[in-house]
Chains A and B, each alone.
Chain A
């Protein structure tokens, strides 16, 4: 009798231990929401030299990607996984020589991508609130250096249910170990500060 009982208990225990973790995870993490980044996403960089200002833009995001948001509660912070990778070669400063200069400064040949990895948001955008500001953390990988930033976002709910998330952040060339370009023995100098603005056009999938 004894061996027979034992042979029934052991598989049951095994099944219990296999299923236990899946129940545990289900209770702590609600279903994730998928954010599909559409090709209307853009990245704009505004900067200045001692003789002019420049504004360079990656006008569209050719490679749609998905971010996954884990919202634990309605008003609390949410965790995000996913990233967007933009081509440095697609920067356009509306001035051919400045465009080439920016690409060279950002070492486009060695590091062809800018990768923005999304980490969190202070709260999940409220679909009933058409415009609001939130904060969130990202890491930006540029010219081979990865740096974490807190970004201010403004979001707009579009009529079609899509979400437009506009993130702005002031960064420095030096944050990425890049020396701001200087010409003619330093008589023409690019300022270290850059204002980065990225626009995410998001289609939500539950």
Chain B
């Protein structure tokens, strides 16, 4: 059936099937006119529809593997544990299960809390840490800290902690139940601060301070639970390191920005958490507007937005005899400043200790000027300095990229036929280029300060200014102008703005066409760059894919001539062209292109080189997409191993090849190896370039997937939170970033399914699924994963 007829069948059927059976004939008569073929086709389909209901019988759910991990019946209750007997479960959370137990030796009964801990750590490692920390924690004897009594392992070698049993209410609930006034709340909070200070003096950081960890007894004595426990369980670090991030077991909403970034938790991180706690006690709310309860959304909000001041929040607490208006008035000013100071994103700008925090509250209560407000002006100045620091980083990026471009000019000069003359010419050109750039940077500099361009002024803005300027300048020097267009294009490309790059590469190409013969090398170089820029756009724009293909073919045709033999652009053109073909799913052609590139690279560079490694990576890609996971793994392994042998390997290469290999291994069930590789290659700390952070985010998705598959959902949560933090900043719409976010969402969906949070899981997966636009194999992978996971979600009711 031809397209046109089918379209009409579809339209007529769409209307007709909604009509009562009795009206259909008349409708068909009218809609089909004299078209008998159309009418009989639609009539036949309508008849089929009447009987078709049986064809979509429910899929046998047993076919669908579910990634859920079922809960085992609780065998612990009633069981003896050392000299204690377990009575009931009190709580079950990310950290593990908490039970009430009693010691009953005939003379007196003692109630204790027993905490079985869950962790990503091996049992052995956990026990080792317990041994190391036990004496420190046991020495924390303070009336407001729940005492650690003992620790051990049960018959299954599961580590547990025995702690003082605290009979109390969560601090926030306690405050509301007793309708404490703001002043009473502040005084209670100061008691908490004193306990935290005591622990800090004993070199113990809590790392997970939150309302749920502070219970208040009927006599108004607050007790902090779980001091130092987060550290025992944190993944990174060894017992020798005093402070490490304890993010693993925190809900991200109380975690400090540095913890979310995976940096070490310090006493000042506890100050932040205390600030969050106080915020909750005074407003009944959290300082950030979270759009969802998903860890990755939450950490993004915490890292990227400023908290609302307490008095700006709707009042969510109950205070005896005080109206909402009165409460807000009380909070306005000093208390706002105090709380916000504790919540500053930069640790060095917060109160430096729980004591300082408490002291400032003391000043407020004593009606003396608070330190938090003295700092306000300086804080603003600090922000300004920060902004300018961003600006100077932007300058560096631009300048480096541009100077890199000039380096290219000089390098080209070396390969010229008449080397000396050409070099002299190039030297002059380079000088002109330099002048232009200096002027451009100087002007951006002036604009920056004069117009207060703001924090959003970035390298791209500066580049835009340069681009504008170039349009109307250097008319009489096409060679210089062509070079600048190419350079600016490259810089745009480096900043992820392929659309702008295309414009400049075209301009450069046009200028060069005026002064060079068609087969000139400089022209080919321009075409190669232009093809590269187009291929960046190819995933969202099919015409760009066509353009990329056209230019790559031209470059290959020109450089493939015998006279150009050995030109290094040729294998790169083959390789990049293969990349475009892979995206389009033209796997056989892609493979053939790589087969052309590989020997040329091998001749040029020898065995292990980034270029050959990239070839193997693309071959792995091709195999993976053709469903040949065995060969895919081989190729990916080769690419990864090659890259790891280079002394000067870049982070990008390591991360990219490792992610492919890990993904392949996970799909083939090699969780242990994938985990070991990730652990070996990715160390916390250090700084990465923006693109590398995206790659790291993707790799962390692999890690989270392993954790989820092993049932460590909390671990997966924390990994995804870190992944999200890596993706913060930078242009939102950037396609790589978008894709990485989708991967995070997929893993988040997997975790939620593991938790049986089906509603949320559906929402997350559907959102990720609907963001898939355009034609790109990475997007295909996202939609395939989403569809697969959605199918594992049990259906609730029929529509």
Do they bind each other?
A: no
Binding site for B on A (CB under 8 A): none
